Chains A and B, each alone.
Chain A
Amino acid sequence: MIKSLKRQNHKLASPEGQINILSDTDAIEIPSFESKMKNIDLLPLKPTEIDIFQVNVGKMCNQVCAHCHVDAGPDRKEIMTRETMQLCLDAIKQTNVKTVDLTGGAPEMNPNFRWFVEELSALDKQIIVRCNLTIILANPKYNDLPEFFKKHRINVVSSLPYFTAKRTDAQRGDGVFDKSIKALQMLNAVGYGKEESELKLDLVYNPAGAFLPGDQDSLTAQFKKKLKEYDIVFNDLFTITNLPVSRFLEYLVKTEKYEDYMHELVNAFNPEAAKGVMCRNTLSVGWDGHLYDCDFNQMLELKVQAPNHISNFDIQKLENRDIVLNQHCYGCTAGAGSSCGGATT
Chain B
Amino acid sequence: MKETYYNREDLKKFGEITEWQKKLGEKFFDYYGEVFQEGALTAREKSLIALAVSHAVQCPYCIDAYTSDLLKKGVDEEQMMEAVHVTAAIKGGAALVHGVQMMNQVNDKLM
Chain A residues, Cβ within 8 Å of B72: 207, 211-214
Q: From residue 197 to 234 of chain A, which have CB atoms closer than 8 A to chain B?
A: 205, 207, 209, 211-215, 218-219, 222-223
Q: Are A218 and B71 in contact (CB under 8 A)?
A: no
Contact of A218 among B44, B68, B76 (CB under 8 A): B44
Asked if B71 and A207 make an inter-chain contact with CB atoms under 8 angstroms apart, the answer reads yes
A218 near B77 (CB under 8 angstroms)?
no
Complex contact B71–A209 (CB within 8 A): yes
Task: Report B35-90 residues with CB < 8 Å from chain A CB.
Answer: 42-44, 68, 71-74, 76-77
**Distance between Cα atoms of A219 and B76 in the complex (Å):** 12
Asked if A164 and B74 make an inter-chain contact with CB atoms under 8 angstroms apart, the answer reads no
| A residues less than 8 Å from B44 (CB atoms) | 218
Do B71 and A211 touch (CB < 8 A)?
A: yes
Answer yes or no: A151 CB below 8 A from chain B CBs.
Answer: no
Shortest distance from the beta carbon of B70 to any chain A beta carbon, whole Å: 9
Q: How far is the CA of A163 from the CA of B77 in the complex (A)?
A: 12
Q: Which residue of A lies closest to B78 (CB)?
A: A164
Determine the interface band of chain B, counting residues with CB < 8 A from chain A.
Answer: 10 to 19
Tally A-B pairs: CB < 8 A.
Answer: 29
Could you mark each residue 64-85 of chain A with 1 if its beta carbon is under 8 Å from any beta carbon of chain B, else 0?
0000000000000000000000
In the complex formed, the residue of B with least CB distance to A212 is: B72
Q: Which residues of A contact B42 (CB under 8 A)?
A: 218
Contacts of B76 in A (CB 8 A): 162-164, 167
For window 4-29 of chain A, which residues contact chain B by CB distance below 8 Å? none
* A166 contacts chain B at the CB level, 8 A cutoff: yes
Chain A's nearest CB lies how many Å from the CB of B104? 47
Bound Cα distance A215, B72 (Å): 8
Closest to B12 in A: A263
Q: Complex: how many Å from CA A56 to CA B6?
A: 48
Q: What's the minimum C-beta distance from B45 to chain A, rounded to whole angstroms? A: 11
In the complex, what distance in Å separates the CA atom of A18 from the CA atom of B82? Answer: 41
Cα of A211 to Cα of B73 in the assembled complex, Å: 10
Cα separation A163 to B75 with both chains bound (whole Å): 10
Residues of B contacting A219 in the complex (Cβ-Cβ under 8 angstroms): 73-74
Pairwise interchain contact B77-A214, C-beta atoms closer than 8 A: no
A256 CB → nearest B CB, Å: 12
Q: Are B74 and A214 in contact, CB atoms less than 8 angstroms apart?
A: yes
Measured CB to CB, the closest approach of chain A to B36, in angstroms, equals 13
Complexed CA–CA distance, A207 and B73 (Å) = 10
Q: Write out the residue numbers on chain A whose beta carbons fall within 8 Å of the beta carbon of B68.
A: 211
> Using a CB-CB cutoff of 8 Å, which residues 167-200 of chain A contact chain B?
167
Interface centre among A163, A209, A215 (most CB of B within 10 A): A215
Kindly state the separation between the CA atoms of A162 and B44 in the bound complex, as whole angstroms.
Answer: 17
Closest to B42 in A: A218
The CA of A317 and the CA of B40, in the complex, are separated in Å by 53
**A interface residues (Cβ-Cβ under 8 A, vs B):** 162-164, 166-167, 205, 207, 209, 211-215, 218-219, 222-223
Can you list 21 A-B contacts with CB-CB less than 8 angstroms, sorted by A residue number? A163-B76, A164-B76, A205-B74, A207-B72, A209-B71, A211-B68, A211-B71, A211-B72, A212-B72, A213-B72, A214-B72, A214-B73, A214-B74, A215-B73, A218-B42, A218-B43, A218-B74, A219-B73, A219-B74, A222-B74, A223-B74
Q: Top 5 A-B pairs ranked by shortest CB distance?
A: A214-B72, A214-B73, A219-B74, A211-B71, A222-B74
With A218-B42, A218-B43 known, 6 other A-B pairs at CB within 8 A are A162-B74, A162-B76, A164-B76, A207-B72, A211-B72, A214-B72
